[in-house]
Amino acid sequence: MSKASFTSRRAPAHHYIQALILGVILTLAVSVAVGASNPDDFWLAAAIGALCAAYPAMSLGGKVFVSNHTVTRDPHGEQSVELQWMRQAGAGAFLDVLVVIVVASLVLVIGRFEIDALPVLLGLVALSAVDAGLRYVAIRYRALK
Amino acid sequence: MKNNLADRRAERHWTQADLAAALGVSRQTVISIEREKFDPSLPLAFQIARTFDCRIEDIFIAD
């Protein structure tokens, strides 16, 4: 993993068109596959599949055809202390989330509670992001004080 | 790992930002190395040695 930064440079126009074409093709492919898996509601399923696939498909097109012109990699990014801080924060956050999941699972099993999965999953995403961010700040503070 | 990077930098009247720019790393990286809280990678250690025209073991001393 190395640090990258965006530049003000632009890719040639035909690269944007190629990215768009790739994105559309991938979106259509996923859409048809999802629709085919639900023949009773083909168009509804295909539309939902298209909505879900459009952003990642367009992003992939940008990554393949555009980002080489607009993003520069920091050749010394691997050697900076910030990368070590990020790794430490990520590893710590992973263990924190793991402990939370284990404890919460035990509480649910023992207490026989039933809760919706979606809020819990969103909470875990928020917890891991906030945890990693706080850990990074704490590690940075300890290292520089 | 102990090092005398701060002394060598001071001999040249370089700031931490000057050294960071010469090495192509962040100032926090230089601060962390000088305070011996971060051991640089081997490529960075070689680069530091080249910058100060000496050998790696002249700057870094194993504990």
Which of A73, A97, A132 is a domain's end point? A73
Residues contacting B58, CB < 8 A, separation 6+: B49, B52
Residue A65 and residue A90 in one domain: no
Sketch the domain layout of chain B as residue ranges.
2-54
Which domain covers residue A53, as residue numbers?
A: 4-73
The structural domain count of chain A equals 2
User: Does residue A69 sit in the same domain as residue A84?
Assistant: no
Burial class (CB in 10 A: 0-12, 13-18, 19+), B3: buried
- pLDDT, chain A, mean: 89
How far off is chain B from A81, nearest CA to CA, in Å? 5
Q: Do A69 and A44 share a structural domain?
A: yes
Residue B3 host element (H or E)? strand B2-3
pLDDT of residue A17: 93
Query: What mean pLDDT comes out for the span A39-54?
Result: 92
Residue B25's closest CA among B1, B44, B46? B44
Interatomic CA distance for residues A107 and A97, integer angstroms: 15
Domain check: are A8 and A67 in the same one?
yes
Q: From A27, A45, A73, give the residue that closes a domain.
A: A73
Q: Does A75 score more than 80 pLDDT?
A: no
User: Contact B28/A76, CB-based, under 8 Å?
Assistant: no
**DSSP helix/strand/coil, B27:** helix
Who among A79, A143, A144 is closest to B25 (CB)?
A79
What is the reported pLDDT for A47?
A: 94
Same domain, A84 and A135: yes
The verdict on a CB contact (< 8 Å) between A82 and B41 is no
Residue at which a domain ends, from A52, A73, A94 = A73
Report how far residue A24's alpha carbon sits from residue A56's, in angstroms, rounded to the nearest whole number.
Answer: 11
Q: Indicate whether A1 pLDDT > 60.
A: no
pLDDT bin (cut points 50, 70, 90) of residue B1 is confident
Looking at the structure, tell me whether residues A10 and A67 fall in a common domain.
yes
Is the pLDDT at B13 greater than 50? The verdict is yes
Residues A66, A20 share a domain: yes
A6/chain B closest Cα distance in angstroms: 18
| Cα dihedral sign, A55-A60-A62-A68 | positive
ipTM, two decimals, is 0.81
The CATH class that applies to domain B2-54 reads mainly alpha
Residues A66 and A16 in one domain: yes
Helix ranges (H only) for A66-116 are 67-70, 81-111
Question: Which region among A88-92, A128-132, B59-63 has the lowest average model confidence (pLDDT)?
Answer: B59-63
